Chains A and B, each alone.
Chain A
Amino acid sequence: CTSIVAEDKTGKLYHARNLDFGLFLGWDIKNSSWTITQLLKPLVVALAFQRNNKTIFKSTNFAGYIGMLSGVRPGAFTLTMNERFSIDGGYLGILEWILGRRDGMWMGFLTRAVLENSTSYEEAKEKLAKTRLLAPAYFILGGNKPGQGCVITRSRAATLDIWDLDIKQGTWFLVETNYDRWKPPLFLDNRRDPAKQCLNQIKQENLSLATIYDVLSTKPVLNKLTVYTTLMAVDGGHTETYLRECPEPCCPW
């Protein structure tokens, strides 16, 4: 996955992501694509969660999955989640759960609870940083005020790092793929540097959902695992989702 949270010159926040999934889950030789990646595309839906006929939050989901991977609480915050791989992974969390230790939260249920119940960027940030999890994760969060954007790097039990937007220091965007920001990405899977390079070329004054879509359309940020691209702006809970395809030549991940 590749998630981007960025702020333009006027202080407006944008949040977007490519959702990549299906690595090693079967390769379709005929169509030169990952089998599960292709099968997931018809399952993608845009959802508006309502209470008393009022939209509380919106998300992009796979039908049948009740957790949240990409969502916006209109006027309050935007949230995406990227997979974080670790030896101390979710299978240990599941084992603990089965053995009776149930103080951790399932990742999808936490993001769902945050979008459903948190009413501000700060509240969402605290819950995502402090709740014990069954699996490690990266949470990418955007707010509704200038400077409100961060990447929270989580192990199952702790927050390892919170990386904030810092306009004064020139950090007007954050890019998270599937690697800790203080470590280099796997040399075979470097989507972080191409995304950063493209954002730097665009420059802050030209930032928009359209130019972020350009970044997410550039290979290898766009790759054979990319299921969809979602573009979000917190104002009014604006969200757009597009199914993607990566024609040859294209990186398998």
Chain B
Amino acid sequence: LAGDPFREDCRNKTYPPSGPTYKGTVPTYIINLDLPPYKRWANVMNDKKTELKKVMQNIKNLVNKFFPGSKIADLVEVKMVHLLSSLPHPFREEIEGIANTSGASLGDVVLFNIFYEIFTV
């Protein structure tokens, strides 16, 4: 403990959550798998479209800061749209539905969905 300024003794009685380490609960939604894939995420994305676009814009800003003047962010967006056509059913259609409902670009939503694969290096 003495050697690590960020380590602390094991906490206890922190539940139910409250205080400075707790920032709130999360909303619950139903995803109806009986709906066509294109429509499944409409309720969620109607509520969260602004937040999604904000995250994606921030990532683009970051890329542009690293590579000023380059067109990397735009190029990736175009490539992501091409990639979409190769994704399996029903995921392809769900992604298209999310982009349509949220108003985010299709390339951004594809990128958001394959972020894990990109970030494992």
Interface residues, chain A, with chain B CB atoms under 8 Å away: 25-26, 35-36, 39-52, 56, 60, 62-67, 83-87, 89-91, 93-94, 97-98, 102, 106-109, 112, 116, 134-137, 194, 197-198, 201-202, 209-211, 213-215, 217-220, 222-223, 228-229, 241-247, 249-251
Q: How far is the CA of A249 from the CA of B20 in the complex (A)?
A: 12
Which chain B residue lies CB-closest to A197?
A: B10
Tell me whether B83 and A98 are in contact (CB under 8 A): yes
Residues of B within 8 A of A222 (CB): 21
Q: Is the CB of B26 within 8 A of A83?
A: no
Task: Give CA–CA (A98, B93) in the complex, Å.
Answer: 19
Taken together as a complex, chains A and B put the C-alpha atoms of A86 and B116 apart, in Å, by 12
Contact residues of B between 50 and 105, Cβ < 8 Å to A: 51-52, 54-55, 58-59, 62, 83, 86-88, 91, 94-95, 98, 102, 104
Instruction: Compute how far the CA of A201 lies from the CA of B11 in the bound complex, rounded to whole angstroms.
Output: 11
Given A56-B33, A245-B23, answer yes or no on A42-B114 (Cβ-Cβ < 8 Å). Answer: no
The answer to whether B121 has its CB under 8 Å from any CB of chain A is yes
Assess the B119–A90 pair: CB atoms within 8 A: yes
B112 is contacted by which of A25, A64, A197, A249 (Cβ under 8 Å)? A64
Interchain CA distance A145-B62 in the complex, whole Å: 46
Contact B118 A91 (CB under 8 A): yes
* Docked CA distance A242–B118 (Å): 27
Q: How many A-B residue pairs have CB under 8 A?
A: 205
Q: From residue A124, how far is it (CB to closest CB) to chain B in Å?
A: 18
CA of A190 to CA of B119 in the docked complex: distance in angstroms? 20
Residues of B participating in the A interface, judged by any CB pair closer than 8 Å: 4-17, 20-34, 41, 44-45, 47-48, 51-52, 54-55, 58-59, 62, 83, 86-88, 91, 94-95, 98, 102, 104, 109, 112-121
Beta-carbon contact of A64 and B34 below 8 Å: no
A residues within 8 A CB of B5? 249
On whether the beta carbons of B6 and A243 are closer than 8 Å, the reply is no
Whether the Cβ atoms of A65 and B48 lie closer than 8 Å is no
B32 / chain A contacts, CB cutoff of 8 Å: 50-51
Query: Is there an interface contact between B120 and A46, defined as CB atoms closer than 8 Å?
Result: no
* 18 additional A-B residue pairs with CB within 8 Å, beyond A63-B52, A66-B98: A42-B48, A45-B27, A45-B44, A50-B31, A50-B32, A89-B121, A90-B117, A90-B119, A90-B120, A97-B83, A194-B10, A214-B10, A214-B11, A214-B12, A215-B11, A220-B7, A242-B24, A243-B26
